[in-house]
Amino acid sequence: MKTVTSIVLNNFKNDSRVLKENISLQNAGYEVIVVALHEELLKEFDNIQNIPVHRIKLKSRSWSKNKIVQLIKYGEFVYRVIKKYKNSDILHCNDLNSLPIGVIIKLFFNRNSKLVYDAHEYETELNGLAGIQKTLVKWLERRLIKHADKVITVSNAIANEYVRLYDIDKPSLVLNTPPFKEIKKQNIFRPLFDINDSQTIFLYQGGLSKGRGIEILLESFKSLWNSTVNKEEKNYPVIIFMGYGPLEKLVIEESNKYENIYFHNAVTPDVLLNYTSSADFGILFYENNCLNHYYCSPNKMFEYLMAEIPVIASNLFEMKRLVELNKIGAVATENNSAGLQDAIEDAVKMNPKELQNNIASIKSIYNWEEQEKILLKLYKELYV
């Protein structure tokens, strides 16, 4: 039985992609363990849905967040992972920050090990990455990626970029999709927030942070509210924000001022799609502020589709291609408030039955069961 050590530099509390991958690998006969960072109140040795987890305790954890000290913490994590897991058959490195660990083991400690690099983002083009830090990250990925036996990415456009930049075989595309689920449409939001049947519910679910278009969504629905003439008739569209993050306070403040803006706390994964299906449209409005966003295929897109609601997306390369090619919603012409409002108007005019048929059709493609096949095929090829 081949051993797989999946390395992440987070606390592995809400990493659904890594969990799905390891469940799939375990079911296929691999002996898996997820190695993560320890955090207070979490177990050092844990078991999540039958997947063993080792959260590495760092002696330097409580030290300051000075950049040099952060490098010392990283060095301690690298040392402890190498010491304990250098004899693994397969090292699955999630994101660029864990790739050096796999390369060091492969080059200096276990030349028989296989290395899988799983880039969950366009690692060198993240929002906010700039200057000398960006130069160093690009240099690091260029030097290390060729030591990987297999590379995985999360969008076709990013895979093509990796081929162009690094002259490697095209990475395997493993989308971050939910498991297939037959959905019976729920009606949670209307009674909860006293929303009329005549009102269209737009949903944003996910991180409430900068770069996700939260301010644009708020601006758009505030504008829609201000332009509503007969507010007492309650036939205006509403938006529900469901999630958490740095902009949560702003969303709550605006929801207290405007009757067409609502906030709902994030819910657990086991009930998420029930809530999602209670909306009429899902909105994804990432801002065009980095190539990572421009080429992204967010997991929220596939959650909307699994819950069988159409999508309104910002005008970004990969999201636009997915929505327009499959005719599953509307794309803004411009990534601003006016563009979003035009997309909303276009979406509500679309044929609901045609939208539902299109969404039901592509659910059979964009689900974890299909992505799992790609992952397992890639693993089999490691030993061909």
Average of per-residue pLDDT values in the chain = 94
User: DSSP per residue over 103-164, as a string?
Assistant: HHIIIII-TT-EEEEE-SS-GGG-TT--HHHHHHHHHHHHHHGGG-SEEEESSHHHHHHHHH
Q: What is the pLDDT at residue 124?
A: 92
Q: Is the dihedral of CA 374, 376, 382, 384 positive or negative?
A: negative
pLDDT in tens, 290-320: 999 999 989 999 999 999 999 999 999 999 9
Distance CA 51, CA 286 (A): 32
- Class of residue 258 by CB neighbours under 10 A (exposed 0-12, middle 13-18, buried 19+): middle
Give the E-state strand segments of the chain in sequence order: 3-7, 31-37, 45-48, 51-56, 90-94, 114-118, 150-153, 172-173, 201-205, 238-242, 261-264, 281-284, 311-313, 329-331
Global pTM? 0.92
Domain 3-177+368-381 and domain 189-362, same fold? Reply is yes
If you average pLDDT over residues 86-114, what whole number do you get?
97
What is the per-residue pLDDT for 233?
A: 80
Where exactly are the structural domains of the chain? 3-177+368-381, 189-362
Q: What is the mean pLDDT of residues 312-333?
A: 95
Percent above pLDDT 90 for the chain: 86
> Which tens digits make up the pLDDT trace of 219-235?
999 998 988 878 888 88
State residue 66's pLDDT score.
83
pLDDT, position 270: 85
Separation CA 245–CA 263 (nearest Å): 12
pLDDT tens digits, one per residue of 119-161: 999 999 998 888 998 999 999 999 999 999 999 999 999 999 9
Predicted pLDDT at 368: 97
| pLDDT tier at 378, thresholds 50, 70, 90 | very high
Interval 160-171 mean pLDDT: 96
Q: What pLDDT is attached to residue 366?
A: 95
Mean pLDDT for 334-355 is 92
Burial per residue of 143-154, b for 16 or more beta-carbon CB atoms within 10 angstroms, e otherwise = ebbeebbbbbbb
State the Cα–Cα distance between residues 67 and 73, nearest whole angstrom: 10
Whether the pLDDT of residue 173 is over 80: the answer is yes
Stretch among 31-40, 59-68, 232-241, 364-373 having the lowest mean pLDDT: 59-68
For 189-362, which CATH superfamily applies?
A: Glycogen Phosphorylase B; (3.40.50.2000)
- CATH architecture of structural domain 3-177+368-381: 3-Layer(aba) Sandwich (3.40)
The predicted model gives 375-380 an average pLDDT of 97
Q: Using CA atoms, how far apart are residues 20 and 50, in angstroms rounded to an integer?
A: 11
**Predicted local distance difference test score (pLDDT) of residue 63:** 87
The predicted structure's pLDDT at residue 14: 81
Q: What pLDDT, on a 0 to 100 scale, did the predictor assign at position 57?
A: 94
Does residue 65 carry a pLDDT above 90? no
Task: Report d(CA 115, CA 103) in Å as an integer.
Answer: 7
- pLDDT higher for 371 or 183? 371
